[in-house]
Amino acid sequence: MARTAFITGATSGIGEAALRTFARAGWNVIGTGRRSDRLHALRQEIGAQMHGCVFDVRDEAGRDAALAALPPAFGEIDLLINNAGLALGTNSADQSDVDQWKTMIDTNVTALVSLTHRLLPGLIGRRGAIINLSSVAGSYPYGGGNVYCGTKAFVTQFSLALRSDLHGKGVRVTSIEPGMVETEFTLVRTGGNDASSSALYQGANPMTGQDIANTLLWVAQLPPHLNINRLELMPVSQSFAGFQVART
């Protein structure tokens, strides 16, 4: 019987590529997002193997209504991919908008833990798996990253701590930590600034949503006795820079 993956943030970027990739590999896929037109188009493309759920991940009532309405063929979730997330702004902390900070925390942290908690009993029952989209931003701080970096550090550590709590229960948990992936991420982060999004990726040969989707599928289809705890990926063009020193 086909396994079922629940993929949040499937209307764009990594999640959208994952939806197609898992469906092609024979999984039943549930894709979520706020943009119903995109989910509708994906359903048309992928067919009966896909079910779309339109809700804002921060809206628990909307999420639970969507879960309660899952068709029977999609009711038993084997894999949760917590992918929906965003960065807002690149200003230094003192110049940042606190409402943007709260939106990142509500989306990347609160909604992620709430959905995980909601699906955990079923995942334990089915000896399923959870893959969380963290980021290199969770390990390497950078100027203007402030709360986004903080949310991703949370996602990584939450993933590792979940592994401890799930000890002996046969549930796999993985933190995926990509560097630069060309998606709508920078468009969202800059409030729709096409030019600055294109400039960031220009000539960088960044990773693609498909690169990450292939990795997600590989992790998900490993033999059940094998757990990837965390996995960091970067394009070859991206690497590390040094510390900064403010001199008087």
Residue 88 touches ligand 8X3, criterion: CB under 6 A = no
Per CB under 6 A, the list member of 81, 111, 136, 155 interacting with ligand 8X3 is: 136
User: Would you state the structure tokens that stand for residue 213, as one six-digit string?
Assistant: 């989707």
CA–CA separation, 40 and 54 (whole Å)? 10
CA–CA separation, 230 and 221 (whole Å)? 16
Residue 133 touches ligand NDP, criterion: CB under 6 A = yes
Residue 212 touches ligand 8X3, criterion: CB under 6 A = no
Closest approach, Cβ 212 to ligand 8X3, in A, equals 11
Distance of CA 115 to the CA centre of its chain: 12
Nearer to ligand 8X3, 122 or 179 (CB): 179
Residue 145 touches ligand NDP, criterion: CB under 6 A = no
Residue 175 touches ligand NDP, criterion: CB under 6 A = no
Active-site residue, 148 included: yes
Nearer to ligand NDP, 83 or 100 (CB): 83
CA–CA separation, 231 and 223 (whole Å)? 17
Nearer to ligand NDP, 56 or 60 (CB): 56
Nearer to ligand NDP, 12 or 28 (CB): 12
The answer to whether the CB of 80 falls within 8 A of the CB of 115 is yes
Strand-pairing partners, residue 181, are: 207
Interaction residues for ligand 8X3, span 142-161 (CB under 6 A): 145
The answer to whether the CB of 122 falls within 8 A of the CB of 128 is yes
> Which distant-in-sequence residues (6+ apart) come within 8 Å of 168 by Cβ?
none
Tell me which residues are annotated as active site.
148
Binding site for ligand 8X3 (CB under 6 A): 135-137, 145, 179
